[in-house]
Amino acid sequence: MSTGRGELEAAAFAEIPQFVSATTLFQNAVADQLGVPVNDLHCLNLVSSGQAVTPTQLAERMGMTTGAVTKMLDRMQDQRLIRREHDPGDRRRVIISQLPDRLAELAELYRPMAAFLQERLSACTDDQLRFVADFAGTARDVALDQAALLRRNGKAHATRRATVEKRERT
């Protein structure tokens, strides 16, 4: 493989969507093993990382209606993945947290991927680790911004599209 700058950029640009696609397939496989829809797994990741811990935050982050999030949380609670608790500072607010019940099962499913990442990252220099962390974080933020932009300015989600179309006919 040639190491010209343009060729390296083209190779990286070609590999990134393939990595994202493979990661999506991996997440689907993990969800299948847990017996849950992949959206439940995405929700669990947001909850366990602290990025979204209320139903409203989850709806905004996942591009879902609050009603759909409620159904998802009901299902996840039945699967012993999460619990809902009233916020002691505001009893009207509900806080979602991950239950420890299935952590070992989750850890086992992610173990091979975590081991691979640990092995590869441990071989990186500090500068390379900074680059990887910065790139991943920035790419995540851009993807989230673009998803929000598409939801705001593009076609509505199917469930919302039906409501909008119904309104337009009346």
- Write out the two tokens for 20: 């994202």
Position 26 scores a pLDDT of: 97
Q: What is the pLDDT of residues 127-151, one digit of tens each?
A: 999 999 999 999 999 999 999 899 8
Q: What is the pTM of this model?
A: 0.83
Inform me whether the pLDDT recorded for 89 exceeds 60.
yes
Q: What is the pLDDT of residues 45-74, one digit of tens each?
A: 999 999 999 999 999 999 899 999 999 999
- Write out the two tokens for 170: 């009346």
Q: What is the mean pLDDT of residues 71-99?
A: 95
Please report which confidence band the pLDDT of residue 22 belongs to, taking 50, 70 and 90 as the band edges. Answer: very high
Q: Phi and psi of 95, rounded to 5°?
A: -110, 135
Residue of 50, 38, 62 whose CA lies nearest to 98: 50
User: How many Å is the Cα radius of gyration of the chain?
Assistant: 19
E-state strands within 53-155: 82-87, 90-98
CA atoms 13, 25, 107, 60: torsion sign: positive
- Write out the two tokens for 84: 């809902």
